[in-house]
Chain A
Amino acid sequence: MSAALLPKRARRPIGLTALIDVVFILLMFFMLTSSFSQWRSLDLQSQAAGKQVDTQPQLLIVHGEDAFSLGALTANTQTLESLAGTLSRSQALVIIPRADISVQIIVSTMTRLKRLGLENISLGNSIKVDQ
């Protein structure tokens, strides 16, 4: 095809207005889709895949935000800090929440136990308490 058949076009540079249109659309896309909070994962060790353990696990019963008891379902509860001395780091620990405890309290309990240096933590079934 000879060049003469093509219409003669004036050579014009692309305007900045078109560029900024596209950049604005990209900016809107990234502003609306990006999120700044990060997901953290906590392992819930499965009871089905339970390994053979020699020792009895410690049972930590969660009564409330800062009310715990170890082993038995008693009325007098303690804070986690006062229980920290009696928790053994080598033994497995099972968290038993009361049935009306929220997920947030379970997660913060696991976080606090990890901070105290306990590693072998799992989540057991909840218990119903009649009152």
Chain B
Amino acid sequence: MTPLIPNKPRRSSDDNLIPLINIVFLLLIFFMVAGQIRASLPALELPDSELGKTAENQPLRIALASDQQLYLNNIPITEIELTRRIQQENAPIQLFADKNLQAQYLDDTLNLLRRAGSDSITLISQTASQ
């Protein structure tokens, strides 16, 4: 007579890892889908705003820290060198200014960028996504 209940497969020690791996896979998929990877910035706080177009990475990212240090694509740079690079590349500029920076110092940088001949400057702010 054959048994009604089939023989259970041999249990292996890995079986109790399966719930764990399920959870870890779910977390992995959540972070892969919800988060976005992008270029890092020098230490500065971006101003907050809710309006404006969503910004993508551009080739020319100029950062202005609260101590007025200029960065081009995350590397500290002098004003003369920056002017030269902008005249070479002639691309749209994204300006990341620290939210506590005073307007007079922002002026200096904007005037520098305009003198260097760039005609598309956007100021980047951030919004916490819901």
Chain A interface residues (CB < 8 Å from chain B)? 15-17, 19-20, 23-24, 26-27, 30-31, 33-44, 46-49, 97-104, 106-108, 110-111, 114-115, 123, 125-126, 128
The interface residues of chain A lying within 8 Å CB-to-CB of B124 are 39-42
- Do B31 and A34 have beta carbons less than 8 Å apart? yes
Write the chain B residue with the least CB distance to A44: B121
Interface 9-residue window, one of B3-11, B15-23, B75-83: B15-23
Q: How large is the interface on B (under 10, 10 to 19, 20 to 34, 35 or more residues)?
A: 35 or more
Please pick, from A27, A104, A128, the residue contacting B47 in the complex, using a CB distance under 8 A. A104
- Do B102 and A43 have beta carbons less than 8 Å apart? no
- Do A23 and B24 have beta carbons less than 8 Å apart? yes
Q: Shortest Cβ distance from B108 into chain A, in angstroms?
A: 10
The interface residues of chain B lying within 8 Å CB-to-CB of A42 are 49, 51-52, 122-125
A30 with B99, Cβ < 8 A, contacts A49-B119, A107-B49, A125-B111 known? no
Pairs across A and B, CB under 8 Å, 6 listed: A27-B24, A33-B37, A36-B34, A37-B127, A40-B53, A44-B110
Task: State A79–B47 Cα separation when bound (angstroms).
Answer: 21
- Do B125 and A30 have beta carbons less than 8 Å apart? no
